[in-house]
């Protein structure tokens, strides 16, 4: 049985007070309104990790994640944060290879392998992001583009390591644009991703792989997206900053 996961990516948003307020609201709503059927991950900016973890406490439903980690273990890398540090602050997940990091910080598929390895060595589950830009979608080569991202970054992993990976498919043209992929477009890509991983690692690995959709996922489209066979949850940007919207998305399952 694969996990249903809804993860909130706060990106670079929220002061200390705003982060505390948002987390408290989510923790209370989840306690009052949800059974522990969906794994919820909060991915605040690094500086919030400790205070958010405190509010999550020993929740069985809500887990802590980060938005990035270094591909190096430690050392003279000013401004970087290691996977070991994240784990020591109670993180269980880390987003790796978000399209914003690929675009603005020039993270390559090869560098991402290093980050994935660091995360796994420190007991974190990588939420590995993939997704195509608009011009690739228009050329109808999106499946080849995304499967190549996966091959180049992940296919050196062992079977045991691959079992710890969560994939997030985020078409770049849908991120923050209000233009979500249709549920058919999401399903087509998610099925292709599962098939691709299955070809390399076998069906027992790919059947258990959670594949999340990200890109303008909101309370009014989440149910339709999550109804598809290969969509196992969402990676939520803007709507994860509003507690009511975020919890309503989780309730869409
Ligand atoms: P939006 O939900 O704001 O489109 O962002 C999606 C995303 O990038 C999550 O990582």
pLDDT in tens, 136-172: 999 999 999 999 999 999 999 999 999 999 999 999 9
Q: Which atom of ligand 1 is nearest to the CA of 176?
A: 4
Tell how far the Cα of 73 is from the centroid of ligand 1, in angstroms.
28
pLDDT band at 86 (very low <50, low <70, confident <90, very high): very high
- Which of 100, 170, 190, 196 is catalytic? The answer is 170
Under 8 Å between Cβ of 43 and 66: yes
Query: Hey, whose CA ends up nearest to atom 9 of ligand 1?
Result: 237
Residue 98 annotated to the active site: yes
| The predicted structure's pLDDT at residue 211 | 98
Tell how far the Cα of 76 is from the centroid of ligand 1, in angstroms.
32
Mutate to test the pocket of ligand 1, among 214, 218, 222, 239 (most ligand atoms within 8 A of CB): 214
* 177-187 average pLDDT score: 93
- In the predicted structure, residue 179 carries a pLDDT above the cut 90: no
Which ranges constitute the DSSP H helices of the chain? 16-33, 49-56, 83-88, 99-104, 109-121, 134-138, 142-154, 159-162, 183-201, 203-207, 219-226, 243-251
| The predicted structure's pLDDT at residue 162 | 98
- In the predicted structure, residue 216 carries a pLDDT above the cut 90: yes
* 184-211 average pLDDT score: 98
- In the predicted structure, residue 35 carries a pLDDT above the cut 90: no
- In the predicted structure, residue 58 carries a pLDDT above the cut 90: no
Q: Is the pTM of this model over 0.95?
A: yes
Query: Bigger pLDDT: 1 or 49?
Result: 49
Q: How many Cβ atoms sit within 10 Å of the Cβ of residue 79?
A: 5
Q: Which atom of ligand 1 is nearest to the CA of 174?
A: 4
Q: What CATH number belongs to 5-251?
A: 3.20.20.70
Pocket of ligand 1 (CB under 6 A): 9, 98, 170, 175-176, 214-217, 235-239
| The predicted structure's pLDDT at residue 178 | 86
The structural domains of the chain, with segments of one domain joined by +, span 5-251
């Amino acid at each position: 049985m694969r996990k249903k996961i809804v993860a909130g990516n706060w990106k670079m948003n929220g002061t200390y007070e705003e982060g505390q307020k948002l987390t408290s609201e989510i923790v209370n709503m989840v306690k009052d309104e949800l059974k522990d059927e969906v794994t919820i991950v909060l991915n605040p900016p690094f500086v919030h990790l400790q205070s958010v973890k405190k509010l999550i406490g020993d929740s069985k439903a809500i887990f802590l994640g980060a938005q990035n980690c270094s591909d190096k273990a430690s050392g003279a890398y000013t401004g970087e944060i290691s996977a070991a540090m994240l784990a020591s602050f109670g993180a269980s997940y880390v987003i790796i290879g978000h399209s914003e990091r690929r675009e603005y910080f020039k993270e390559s598929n090869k560098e991402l392998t290093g980050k994935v390895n660091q995360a796994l060595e420190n007991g974190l589950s990588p939420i590995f992001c993939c997704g195509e830009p608009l011009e690739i979608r228009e050329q109808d080569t999106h499946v080849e583009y995304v499967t190549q991202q996966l091959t180049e970054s992940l296919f050196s992993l062992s079977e045991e390591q691959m079992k710890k990976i969560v994939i997030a498919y985020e078409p770049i043209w849908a991120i923050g644009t209000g233009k979500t992929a249709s549920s058919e477009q999401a399903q087509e890509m998610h099925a292709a991703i599962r098939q691709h991983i299955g070809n390399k690692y076998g069906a027992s690995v790919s059947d258990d792989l959670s594949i999340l959709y990200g890109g303008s996922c909101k309370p009014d489209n989440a149910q339709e997206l999550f109804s598809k066979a290969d969509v196992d949850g969402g990676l939520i940007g803007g709507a994860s900053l509003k507690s009511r919207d975020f919890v309503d998305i989780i309730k869409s399952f």
